[in-house]
Every structure is written in structure tokens, then in C-alpha cells.
Chain A
Amino acid sequence: MKSVILKTATRLMIGLMLVFAVYVFLRGHHEPGGGFSAALLAGTAFSLLAITNGADHVRKAIRIRPSVMALAGLALAAGAGLPALFFGKPFLTGIWWQTETFAAGTPLLFDSGIFLAVLGAILSILLALEEN
């Protein structure tokens, strides 16, 4: 698309949208958001980039192939279930590491897996549509 306005606006907006996606991803644990929504947001951001600057631009921006990203996401999500096995708990039980004020655990990894898998899926369809 040759709209200069959209192109310029995209350059400003894409960073904002990606940062917002990270924000939505992180706030998901206490408020609406999470890996899936964040992936949709990031997917929208990249769609904007693809429409204005072309698919090649998106490929350069994400550096890895979207199918690899999707599979890595699946692997990460499945891998997040493994630590539980070492503690003798069922697969995918959340394992937590916590201090007085802060807690992090395998569900965070699992959510990252969701994010990557969904984003990879969206991007692979998007790029296929754009490049066809």
C-alpha cells in the first residue's frame, strides 16, 4: 500500500503496539490480558507492518521463520510442564519460586509458549497471504 500517512504512522505505532503487547502479557496474571491477547496484539502490529511495508519487512523484523516460532512456542509450553515431573507432581503442575513480595513460576513460561505459538501461527498465515 502506498499511503505515506499510514506508513509513517505505522513506524510510530508498531513500537507502541509491541510494548503494549508486552504490557498486556505481563498484566495478564492479575487483570485481563495474557499470552493469547498479547499475541493477537503483536499479530495486529505485524499485520500493519506487512500491509504498509511488505512481507519482507516483517520477515526481517522477526528474524526467525514464523513456523519455527510457532513450534518453539509449543516446545516451550510443553517444556514448562516438565519441571513438575522432577518434583514428583503431575505434568504441567505450576512450580513456583517466590520471595516475600515476588513470585514467578512455570506458568509464566507456559504463557510465553502460548504467546509464541499463537503469534507464530498468525504470522505464518499473514505472510503466506501477503506473499501469495
Chain B
Amino acid sequence: MRITPPDTGAVPDCCRKGLYSCLLPAGLFALLCLAWPRVVNGDVFTVQWAWVPSLDLNLALRLDGLSLLFGLIITMTGFFVTIYASSYMAGHPQNGRFFVFLHAFMIAMLGIVFADNLLLMFICWEATTMLSFLLIGFDHEKSDARENARQALLVTGAGGLFLLMGILLLKSAGFSMTLSVLSESADVIQNHALYPAIFICFMVGAMTKSGQVPFHFWLPNAMSAPTPISAFLHAATMVKAGIYLLMRLHPVMGGTPLWMSTLVLVGGATALWGAIQALGPCDLKRILAHTTLMALGILTLFLGGQTVLSLTAATTFLMVHALYKAALFLAVGSIDHQTGTRDLNDLGGLATRMPLTALAVAGATLSMAGFPLFFGFIGKEIMYAGALAEDMFPLFAAGITLSANALMTAVAAIILLTPFAGTLPAHLKNTCETPWTMRIGPAFMGLIGVVFGIMPEWVSENLIQPAVFAFHPDREEIRLFLFHGINLPLVLSIITLTSGAVIYRQKIRLRRGIRFLTDHLWVTMPGLYQSGLTRFLTTAATVTRILQNGSLTTYMSVIVFTLVVLTGSVWLPHVADIASIPAVTGPYIAMGLFVFVLGAAAVVVTARHRLAAIGGLGGVGGGVALIFLVFGAPDIALTQLLVETLTLIFVSLILLRLPPMEPIVKPGATFQARTLRNAILSISAGLLVFTLVSGVVSTPLDRSLTAFFETHSYVSAHGRNIVNVILVDFRSLDTLGEICVIVLAAWAGVHLIRRPFGQRKAP
């Protein structure tokens, strides 16, 4: 039995259920570790269950080197983020929901990287979009969190639709939805007429998800999520989905001039713009968000290459970035949590108060800046080598990489030195170190960079090479070494560090300049997004006002008019060939009924009071029911009669609440355009339906279905009433759908009736 601790009013140190839930990512990580040695040997694990085979939708999972690398990063980050969040979110009233979202997010992301079927991948892709919406807007009491969540949802959701289009087009070109099958028909796909369209669709999907220019603006705003989520979202999940997609598609679609030039240019622009903007803000979290843009740009840039070298550079940098970015976000969250601020101007000298966090940040930032002996150094070396080996624009790529890295070095220095070095401001005197749960994650991920930096051979053999082999056909071995000798990349590395130091010295002036620049841009993507959204909403409101104006007469007229025009335009040219006036046969009583129905219809049209009109309608319905009976359709007659009765009751109940009927012909007026219009519409609709029915009657009826039901009804369904047997047995799925519609319609109707017009909220 559990004893509830006494409520002391203090915030608990740690949320137990959150802490225990780290077993999920830990378990998944351990499972991946079991498969790891065999994947390094080149084994590929596949599982497949049929889901909707007719749509080529299978639950096909595939574990190769690339999936393994991503899986390890996701589960490891997920593990540390969960432990971290158990303290960070402690005392939050909705932290149970938080951990559910967090783990669902992780599983959706794992789904993306393990899916071998493109539709399955798309489903997981959309799941990450939805869950990121929930997580970014987790603090839903704040309006900017809601706004940013909506922005992320709209941008990435729109990209998701492009991705779906791309998948469907790719299926028509490559005749498969399975990635491993598609990569075998790369030649066919790349020479297909649809290739540019497919490429654009996938590219837009990846660009929106991975925050590439010009869809980058949602990513910095997404940091209104709780910090552990930002760490997870920036380092391992969500934004890496687009990069993963580009990697996976590389063997299928990569290597064409279109692919290479687009990726290099888009990636380069994103990297440069992200790196420049990172110098602007004073908010540590916002700085980090912009550096993620730079990293995503660099990754895209290198995926534009075709050589093993540039792809190895991308994969290495992916790892480097995941480690330092997760560590830095978590550490910034710790600073925020302990001091209540993450503004650079308010921070300083924290190294003495939060030593382990400072150490973690030092490890992460030195890796980010690319100091020798850190993993980031290895990454930077191979980046320069890869940039110079690009097939398209190698100098552009090298220039972008150089300037972005120099800026990153300066940013790394800012992140490390400003909060931790210098004198401790008075208001931070009481700051203390975080609980162990919030230290372990940043410390591990910040310092493992040193371990990887010292033994790059092991990393390249066990993680990077298997991943690159999974999406590049050439098994060319690229080893990472601590020291490659004195060559061009090393020279570039030294230039990077020196210019980074120079930029750091000028940080205040640069910050002012960049702020001035971003404030005075004529066209900004957030501005375009905002005005586009506003315009979209006003257009929607206008369209709604026109189409949904609340007048039942207008609705009916539009429906009938559409029916007459669309059906008539197809049907009328053939009317003379098919339809014929059927011979008048049948019992005399039917004649009497026809006359009765016509008379009732005349009553409806000329009635001056609603009750008379309703009575007339009832007469029409009842007469038609009797006609059914005379011609031998007792089932329909019964139903029609019952429906007519009920309708009459319902309509009379409504009638009591309506204002008196407008006279059809207003007193004093002899002619009205509205009456004429309605009359023409009604008569033409009536004539159209008449010719249609007569056309149906003159076409010979295929009786094979009737024969089937006649023979099988009693034998296999024990019923002699074929109509009912069809309804409840042979075609019961249809009936199930229909009763769902009935219940839904009733539900909607009840809510429409219950809310009186006076109490409606203004839209």
C-alpha cells in the first residue's frame, strides 16, 4: 500500500513516475545494443506484418546501420531527458501527461527510423507532428506557447502533406512503397518524367520538418516547449526526421544535379542564416535554437554530396551535434531552473555554484567549437574534407562550412564563458547545484564527446561506417583519425578557431548589428507566415459567410441547382437514345393514387399556412407509400409510411417555434422573381428525375444479384425477407455505417436545437 506523503507545500525534488518511466528508453536502448554487433557485421534485421496489403501498406520494420545509429541516439537522449525531466517537471500538475507525450514522441520517432514502408513512415511522421504540437503547447495557459505550437503544426503538417504526395508519386514511378525495394530501381526513378515533382514533394517535406530556409522560423519558436522537450526535439527527434528522410532517399533519388544543387544551396543558406542569427539574442535557449538551424543546414549541405566522404561528414556531424546539443539544452534548462533566468546579461560566475553543470557545458561547447581532442574536432576535420570533395559547388560548401563553424565557435564561447565565468552577480549568490537527476544527462552527453574524440577509430568502425554503408552503395572505407597530418582541413580548422575568437571579441557590436538587421528586413518569413495566415482566415470567413449564410432556402436552391446542372449536362444529350416514355400499365387504383399525390403537391405549393403545407407533404409521402404497396414493395411502403409519420410529428414540433410564414406572393405584388426562380428550379429538377427514372426503367435490369440473394437468403441466412436479410446480414457493414451516420446526425441535431440562437457566440 502506498502512503501519500504529507503535503508540505514544497515542490517535490523528483517525480517518481517520471523517473521510473526512464526504463522504457533504457530497455529499448539495451535491445538495440543486443543487435548492435550483428549490424556492424552487416546483418539487417527485418520484420513484416501485413496491415492493408491492398494499399501496399505493411508494418515493415528494418534495422540497418543508419536506423541503428538514429535509434541509439533517440533512445539514449530519451533516457537522459526522462531522468532530467523527472526533476525538472516535478510538482507540475500535469507531469503525468508530459511523460506520456514524451515517450509517445520517442516511439513515433523510432517508428520513422525503423519503418521500411513509406506509408508507415508517413504515419509515424505525422504522429511526431501531432505530438510536437502537444509538447510545444504544453504550457497551454500561455498564449505564445499555443501560438508557437500552432505555427509548428501548420508548417510541419503542410510539409507532411507534401511528403504524402511525394510517396504516392514515388509509388507510381517505382512501383513500390518499400524503401529497400525502391533503392534497387533508382535508375528508373531518376529518369522518370515525374522525378522533379517527386523530388520537390519530398524536399518540401524534409525542409519543413528540419527547419530549412525558408521554413525555418517555426523551430526557434518551438522552444516555448519545456526545456527537456526542446533538448529532445532539437537533438534527437522531430527536426532530425527530415535529415533522416534525406539520408534514406539518398540511394533512391540522390546524385542527380537537381538533388545536389538544391540540397547544397538550401542547406548552405540555412547554415549561414542560422549561424548569423545565433549571435543576435541574449536568451540562451534562443541562441541554442538558432545553432540547431545551422547544424541542420550543414547536414543538408553534406547530404547534397555524392561522395562517401561528404556523407560520412554528414553522419559524423549528426552524432557530434546530437551529443552537444542535448547536453547544452539540458544544462541551459538547469541554469534556468536554478536561477530563474536564462538571459546572458543576468548571468555570470556560475562555475563555482554549479560546478558539474559547468563541466558538462565546457565539454559540450568545446566539442561544438571543434577543439582538438573533442569529438567536434573530428567532425570538423571530416566536414572540411567532405566539403572540398562535393560534386557541386565545393568552394561554396567549404566557404559556408568555414564561416558557419567560425560563428559556431564564437557562439560556443558565449554559451560557456558568459554564464559560468566572470563575477557572480549579487542576485545569484544563493544558487546551488541541481539534483543528481538533472546533472547526469548533461554530464554524460557533454563528456562522452571527449571519449569519442580520443577514440574516433572505434566510433567510425562501429557507428558511422555501418550507417553510411546503409545509404551509400560504395563500400569505400573512410576512417576517422585523431590526427590526419598537416593538410588543408587542419589549416581550415585553425582558421576557424582564430576567426571564432575574433568574432567573440566583437560579440556586443555584432549582436547590435544583427538585431538591427533582423528588425529592418523588408520581407521576413515569420511576417509572410503571419500575413498569409491572417489572409487565409479572412478568406475562409468570407467564403463561409457566402456559402453558409443560414438560409435553408439558399442551401436547397444550391443543392438542387447543382444537381440539375451537373446531372443534366451529362444526361440530357443521351436522353433521347435511352429514355422512353413507359407504357402506362398497372392497376386502376394506382391511377387514383397518382391523382391524389398530384393534388397533395398542389396543396403544398399553394398553401398559405405552414400546417397546410405540412399536411400536403404528408399526403404526398403517404400517397407514394401506397403506390409502393400497390406495385409490390411492402418493405419500402412500410418504412416510407413510418418515416412520413415521424417526420410529420417532428416538423409540427418545429413549426410551433417558427415565425409566421412569409406569404409566397406578397400582398400587392403580382409577380416575384423569387417565385419564378423557385418554380423553374423545381420543375426542371422534377423533369430531370422523371427522365432519369424512365431511363433506368428502359434499361434491362441485371438480375444476377437478385438471383443470388433469392437462392442464398434462406439457405445461409435463415430469412425469407430478402430486403431485411441484405440489410442485417449480407451487407451488414453498410448498415453499420448507416446507423453510425444516423446517430451522428442526431447528435449534431440535438446540439443545434439545444443552443438557442440568442446565446450563440459571435464567430
Interface residues of A (CB under 8 A from B): 24, 28-37, 40-41, 43-44, 47, 51, 67, 70-71, 73-74, 77-78, 80-81, 91-92, 94, 96, 98, 103, 105, 107, 110-111, 113-114, 117-118, 120-122, 124-126, 128-130, 132
Across the interface, name the chain A residue whose C-beta is closest to B756.
A132
Check A32 against B638 for contact (C-beta < 8 Å).
yes
How far is it, in angstroms, between the C-alpha of A74 and the C-alpha of B646 when the chains are bound?
22
**Which 4 pairs of residues, A with B, have the shortest CB-CB distance?**
A121-B746, A40-B642, A30-B720, A128-B753
CB within 8 A of A40: which of B646, B719, B721, B725? B646
Smallest CB–CB gap between A17 and chain B, Å?
Answer: 11
Across the interface, name the chain A residue whose C-beta is closest to B746.
A121
Smallest CB–CB gap between A26 and chain B, Å?
Answer: 11
Given A78-B736, A107-B729, A125-B650, is A30 in contact with B746 using a C-beta cutoff of 8 Å? no
CB within 8 A of B746: which of A28, A29, A125? A125
Contacts of B719 in A (CB 8 A): 29-30, 107
Sampled A-B contacts (15; CB under 8 Å): A31-B634, A32-B721, A40-B645, A43-B646, A67-B747, A67-B750, A81-B733, A81-B736, A96-B718, A107-B728, A114-B735, A122-B646, A124-B750, A125-B746, A132-B657
CB within 8 A of B753: which of A37, A44, A129? A129
Given A36-B639, A114-B735, A121-B742, is A126 in contact with B650 using a C-beta cutoff of 8 Å? yes
Check A37 against B642 for contact (C-beta < 8 Å).
yes
Across the interface, name the chain B residue whose C-beta is closest to A34.
B724
Check A29 against B642 for contact (C-beta < 8 Å).
no
Check B728 against A114 for contact (C-beta < 8 Å).
yes
Contacts of A111 in B (CB 8 A): 724, 728
In B721-741, the 8 Å CB interface with A consists of 721, 723-725, 727-729, 732-733, 735-736, 739-740
Check A29 against B649 for contact (C-beta < 8 Å).
no
How far is it, in angstroms, between the C-alpha of A126 and the C-alpha of B647 when the chains are bound?
11
Smallest CB–CB gap between A35 and chain B, Å?
Answer: 7
Check B639 against A37 for contact (C-beta < 8 Å).
yes
How far is it, in angstroms, between the C-alpha of A35 and the C-alpha of B639 when the chains are bound?
11
B717 at the A interface (CB under 8 A): yes
Across the interface, name the chain B residue whose C-beta is closest to A103.
B718
Check A105 against B724 for contact (C-beta < 8 Å).
no
B763 at the A interface (CB under 8 A): no
Smallest CB–CB gap between B636 and chain A, Å?
Answer: 9
In B607-645, the 8 Å CB interface with A consists of 634-635, 637-639, 642-643, 645
Contacts of B727 in A (CB 8 A): 34, 36, 114
Check A94 against B721 for contact (C-beta < 8 Å).
no
CB within 8 A of B743: which of A31, A73, A96? A73
B653 at the A interface (CB under 8 A): yes
Check A29 against B721 for contact (C-beta < 8 Å).
yes
Check B646 against A31 for contact (C-beta < 8 Å).
no
Smallest CB–CB gap between A1 and chain B, Å?
Answer: 11
How far is it, in angstroms, between the C-alpha of A29 and the C-alpha of B720 when the chains are bound?
6
How far is it, in angstroms, between the C-alpha of A51 and the C-alpha of B637 when the chains are bound?
26
Contacts of A122 in B (CB 8 A): 646, 746
- By the criterion of a CB under 8 Å from any partner CB, how many residues of chain B are at the interface? 42
How far is it, in angstroms, between the C-alpha of A75 and the C-alpha of B631 when the chains are bound?
37
CB within 8 A of A44: which of B645, B721, B732, B747? B645
CB within 8 A of B739: which of A34, A113, A126? A113
Interface residues of B (CB under 8 A from A): 634-635, 637-639, 642-643, 645-646, 649-650, 653-654, 657, 716-721, 723-725, 727-729, 732-733, 735-736, 739-740, 742-743, 745-747, 749-750, 753-754, 756
CB within 8 A of B745: which of A44, A121, A128, A130? A121
Across the interface, name the chain A residue whose C-beta is closest to B742.
A121
How far is it, in angstroms, between the C-alpha of A32 and the C-alpha of B729 when the chains are bound?
15
Contacts of B716 in A (CB 8 A): 94
How far is it, in angstroms, between the C-alpha of A107 and the C-alpha of B728 when the chains are bound?
6
Check A34 against B743 for contact (C-beta < 8 Å).
no
How far is it, in angstroms, between the C-alpha of A26 and the C-alpha of B642 when the chains are bound?
17
Across the interface, name the chain B residue whose C-beta is closest to A41.
B642
Contacts of B721 in A (CB 8 A): 28-34
Across the interface, name the chain A residue whose C-beta is closest to B652.
A51
Contacts of B637 in A (CB 8 A): 32
Check B753 against A132 for contact (C-beta < 8 Å).
yes
Contacts of B732 in A (CB 8 A): 77, 80-81, 92, 94, 107, 110
How far is it, in angstroms, between the C-alpha of A126 and the C-alpha of B653 when the chains are bound?
9
Smallest CB–CB gap between B431 and chain A, Å?
Answer: 56
Check B736 against A77 for contact (C-beta < 8 Å).
yes
Check A117 against B650 for contact (C-beta < 8 Å).
no
Check B742 against A92 for contact (C-beta < 8 Å).
no
Smallest CB–CB gap between B470 and chain A, Å?
Answer: 39
Contacts of B742 in A (CB 8 A): 117-118, 121
Check A44 against B718 for contact (C-beta < 8 Å).
no
With contacts A28-B724, A29-B725, A77-B732 known, what are 8 further pairs, Cβ within 8 A? A32-B635, A37-B639, A44-B646, A73-B739, A73-B743, A103-B718, A118-B739, A128-B749
Across the interface, name the chain B residue whose C-beta is closest to A38.
B642
How far is it, in angstroms, between the C-alpha of A34 and the C-alpha of B483 when the chains are bound?
85
Smallest CB–CB gap between A10 and chain B, Å?
Answer: 13
Smallest CB–CB gap between B135 and chain A, Å?
Answer: 32
CB within 8 A of B750: which of A30, A96, A125? A125
Across the interface, name the chain A residue whose C-beta is closest to B739.
A117
Check A71 against B743 for contact (C-beta < 8 Å).
yes
Across the interface, name the chain A residue whose C-beta is closest to B636.
A32
Contacts of A47 in B (CB 8 A): 646, 649-650
Smallest CB–CB gap between A126 and chain B, Å?
Answer: 7
* Of listed A73, A78, A126, residue having the most chain B CB within 10 A: A126
Smallest CB–CB gap between A19 and chain B, Å?
Answer: 16
